[in-house]
Structure 1
């Protein structure tokens, strides 16, 4: 039997732990006095998510855009984990409940792939221009476990360009939704696939 797109969608719909979409979450830039919502509007204006480098936890010589392959409930749980464990995770804001979702086949067509979870030692044997897809996974020390597999990360090498019609906006609550509506330009509101209030998903 041929495994068609329809059958794939039906299989995902039947699972509470899977999604047809991957999600990119933003963070603020305090050095520029920009909030996560400001960054989202920059992304929407440019129709492009700029690839992160070492400062965004991407190894090697090439930048990459990061996505999470999880349903909205899982995305919300990952965000909560970041908030609760902010200090334990080094006090650095990695992402917030503001971002964009894209259909998985679209991201795949643009070069997006699941990351490879491996040790730092394994990554060192790869050429520098191949390390953008590597994320550290290490259980060798019980006192210093490194495990990001809960994010089920995908990455796209370089920047990720998109059209509004392919984008779903994620916002954390009603107040942010209202601010987004007030600030959004006409083309954005008319053409995006929709807006998700994440608070309603997890309430």
Structure 2
């Protein structure tokens, strides 16, 4: 039998890495409107890399960018692009550590199968041209189009400036083995977002989780983080989106795509390669063979889950009624304004919480919160009354269900 040979310098995956936002570099322009146009309304101007990553997951896609450097776009052809690298993960992890202090790169990203990225329209970069006399038909800070006699406009998004022989200022990014993607189909290549005017609507993006029914190419992705703590947060986020089937903007999330997706902890790769000398752990294929890819947590309902929930709801209802009667006896018919008081939990990976959601005895997750629909008033003409009831019911639900439960108050 011929032993399978695992290459460490080649992988079937490409990875889009994110980094901290750097307002002066990422959003050129002198007015607030110019900065806001490029920044959008989903994240702070100085959001860190992990916040950028969680925003991509929550929105369900990656918005293309202009990759500004020194106030000018490095993407040619007039359209923003999504950039990815086919560097093996361990190579990128060591690269990220070296360049982290400069703020140019981070250890957070999303990997796609190269074949699927290609099918979605992604293409490998073109490093340099066969002429040094590069002429432009347009050469503005946000739009750089090379003369079509040199390179067709439809291929210019792939062009990467390359001049390793320049002794005064060499340009060589070929070690990044870059791929790029631009939006082509307005009906497919889009997600819904909030813009800088706080308006919600569609924008060009590479969709990740919509699934085949929405003509989304990706069957699975891998989410890359640095630590186990961050992996737990991503697990909870993906599990919540899996249970809800959509985000707050009603963007569809295909459950099968999420179930097939995995979480990668770069600390594990560093440890496996540098300390345990597991060379195959340098690539996603090797990590899969070594069982170092973490699935999201989809749990089976506990034994007697229906009985556990029924008893918890009955006890919570009793506690809530008692607290409500005491409140009315003390305050009478005063009205403090209309609002909602929900008993909520954020532990979406807990089997009993997943049972509550699948059995429609809870709703959400909404921004990570699951609202437990126990019997009792969740809204009232007197918001203080609703709070008093919920404050009494929440600890009872926590004790009986064995989860953390707190009260979330929303004035109307």
Q: Aligning the two structures, in what range does the TM-score lie when normalised by the shorter sequence?
A: 0.7 to 0.9
Q: 1:75 to 1:54 in 2, by over 3 A?
A: closer
Name the SS of the counterpart of 2:76 in structure 1. Answer: coil
2:124 paired residue number: 114
2:169 paired residue number: 144
Equivalent-residue separation in structure 2 for 1:54 and 1:68 (angstroms): 14
Q: 1:82 to 1:59 in 2, by over 3 A?
A: farther
2:246 paired residue number: none
Q: Which runs of 4+ in 1 moved over 6 A?
A: none
2:58 paired residue number: 45
Structure 1 unmatched ranges of 5 or more: 1-9, 87-92
Q: Which has the larger radius of gyration?
A: 2
| Bigger relative contact order, structure 1 or 2 (CA pairs below 8 A, ≥6 apart) | 1
Given that residues 47 and 161 in structure 1 are in contact (C-alpha distance below 8 angstroms), is that contact kept between their aligned partners in structure 2?
Answer: yes
**Shift, 1:80, TM fit:** 2.5
Equivalent-residue separation in structure 2 for 1:146 and 1:75 (angstroms): 19
Name the SS of the counterpart of 1:67 in structure 2. Answer: strand
**Shift, 1:163, TM fit:** 1.5
**Shift, 1:127, TM fit:** 5.0
Given that residues 61 and 129 in structure 1 are in contact (C-alpha distance below 8 angstroms), is that contact kept between their aligned partners in structure 2?
Answer: no
2:77 paired residue number: 60
Cα RMSD after superposing both structures: 2.7
2:10 aligned with 1:14: no
1:167 paired residue number: 221
2:105 paired residue number: 95
107-116 vs 170-179, which moves further = 170-179
What is the number of residues matched between the two proteins?
Answer: 186
Q: 1:177 to 1:157 in 2, by over 3 A?
A: same
119-128 vs 71-80, which moves further = 119-128
Residue 201 (structure 1) aligned to one of 269, 274, 277: 269
- Normalization by structure 2: what TM-score? 0.41
Given that residues 117 and 136 in structure 1 are in contact (C-alpha distance below 8 angstroms), is that contact kept between their aligned partners in structure 2?
Answer: yes
Given that residues 235 and 263 in structure 2 are in contact (C-alpha distance below 8 angstroms), is that contact kept between their aligned partners in structure 1?
Answer: no
Matches within 5 A, 1:68-107: 68-83=85-100, 86=102, 93-107=103-117
Structure 2 unmatched ranges of 5 or more: 24-44, 136-145, 184-204, 211-218, 244-254, 272-412
2:362 paired residue number: none
- Normalization by structure 1: what TM-score? 0.78
Name the SS of the counterpart of 1:76 in structure 2. Answer: helix
